[in-house]
Amino acid sequence: LLRLKRARIVIPPLSPTLTKARIYKWLKDPTAAAGNANRIECYEPLFVLQCSPDLLSKGYRKHETHEPLMLIEAHDEGTLQISPEVLESSLSNNNGGEWFPVGHFLGTIIDDDDDDDDDDEDADWLWQ
């Protein structure tokens, strides 16, 4: 029986004060059909995340409503599968989709490579 490793992709806690964020721009096509088109490698850029102003303390913001952009990379390799809810929201608006709370489930990276037998099943996504 082959068990596939799955890494959950969530809105990352980029600071202790961050409460929400949204996908501003996809760098990897989230609508690609199964196969090599949605295969990702470790450290490959996935999307640009627009963060709520509370990412930075007031003294460090350019202005009160500053919403910083952050590049989010893959920290695993495999096949990218994005949640239908997130996909619809992020593609329906040119300036980013719905705002999601920190920890909100965005999708999964399924690693079908059997060379990582010692890794945990259904591991959480790692952010650095």
Structure confidence by residue, pLDDT tens digits, 20-67: 999 998 888 877 755 555 888 889 999 999 998 888 887 777 888 888
Mean pLDDT of 85-102: 81
| Predicted local distance difference test score (pLDDT) of residue 104 | 93
Residue 32's identity, in one-letter code, is A
| Predicted local distance difference test score (pLDDT) of residue 100 | 93
Dihedral angle sign, alpha carbons of residues 94, 68, 26, 3: negative
Cβ atoms within 10 Å, residue 8: 14
| Predicted local distance difference test score (pLDDT) of residue 1 | 47
Mean pLDDT of 110-114: 73
Q: What percent of the chain has pLDDT over 90?
A: 20
Return the beta strands (E) in 69-128 as ranges: 69-73, 78-82, 100-101, 105-111, 123-124
